[in-house]
Amino acid sequence: MPKRQRDSTFNLTGLPINGDLRTYMMKWRDFLAHQKAFSSHTITAYDIDIRHFIWFVNRHVGEEVTPDHLATLKLRDFRSWLAARHNENFTATSTARALSVIRGFFRYLEKQGVLENPASQHVRTPKLSKSLPKALAVDQTMDSLTSVGAEHKEIWVQLRDVALLTLIYGCGLRISEALALTPKDIEDGAVSLTLTGKGNKQRMVPVLPQIHEAIAAYKKSCPFTLANDEALFRGARGKPLQPAIFQKEIRNLRAALGLPESATPHAFRHSFATHLLASGGDLRTIQELLGHADLSTTQRYTKVDHERLLSAYQKAHPRA
């Protein structure tokens, strides 16, 4: 199978599909981008999943895939696709997402009057292990905030990494949300920050003085002009900082501080929520700060905190 594409839009080059299916796939992509307001990152993930599925169907039918082929797929065919993903070592989480993508594509085709395939909506989702958010201890978090980027010779890069991590942890941001910010989004001394998260959902989060101090130090040292409507965080050549670069910085930080493998940029968002809960924050407030649409997503943190308390009890209680 050809190497998977990782661009920000659907790349249909080389896909074994006829002209009609190509047209419908591009219309679906436009629907996701403009009607559903999905991010380019999400659309890229959808692209990877749909390409894998189309290549599977191509091998299955032995010819160029058409809408008619998709309409006649049986439940056993979808199960064979899931089995193929399992044999290719895709995780259950990845396959569950891919199945959701394929179901959505078939629903779109049905609403457009292109085809109907009831079997596509009756495939059983792979069982998922309910993993808990991997939060860092408070002391690990504080050490990280002062140590990130320390291996860089350029002071401005060190200060950039400190400011970015302080922002992610201090406001509970996703890395994509933090890197999308411009200087005008987080004005000096502003008590709050308005964000647009997943599903174009807006939320407001408080901004602590320590966050402003870290960002001000970075801005003062940054060698590039930071226009109000351009990216706040920059890479070594002045272009917008890419997530992969900062993820690499966190991997270096893990090695330097002996942090667990679960210590990723997103772990600091989890830590923000877990530490708030441990300090008496209520779930509804934390839900709003994180931008979770469903309270059940936020409720996972209660178990995290319960396990922390149980661990402390077992270590300290004389009868434990």
**Could you give the residue numbers annotated as active site?**
174, 198, 266, 269, 292, 301
What is the Cα 190 distance to its own chain's centre? 27
Token digits of residue 257:
């501080």
For residues 88 and 83, give the distance between their C-alpha atoms in angstroms, rounded to a whole number.
9
Partners of residue 294 on adjacent β-strands: none
H or E stretch at 49: helix 40-61
Partners of residue 193 on adjacent β-strands: 205
Q: What would the DSSP string read from start to end of 57-90?
A: HHHHHTS-B-HHHHHT--HHHHHHHHHHHHHTT-
Structure letter (DSSP) for residue 234: B
Query: Using an 8 Å Cβ cutoff, are 2 and 56 in contact?
Result: no
59-64 contacts, C-beta under 8 A, 24 or more apart: 63/16, 64/16, 64/17, 64/18
Query: Using an 8 Å Cβ cutoff, are 97 and 41 in contact?
Result: no
Query: Using an 8 Å Cβ cutoff, are 269 and 173 in contact?
Result: yes
Distances (CA, A) of 198 to 38, 65, 201: 8, 33, 6
Half-sphere exposure at residue 241, Cβ-oriented, CA atoms within 13 angstroms: 28
Query: Using an 8 Å Cβ cutoff, are 128 and 93 in contact?
Result: yes
Q: What would the DSSP string read from start to end of 6-21?
A: -SSS---TT--B-HHH
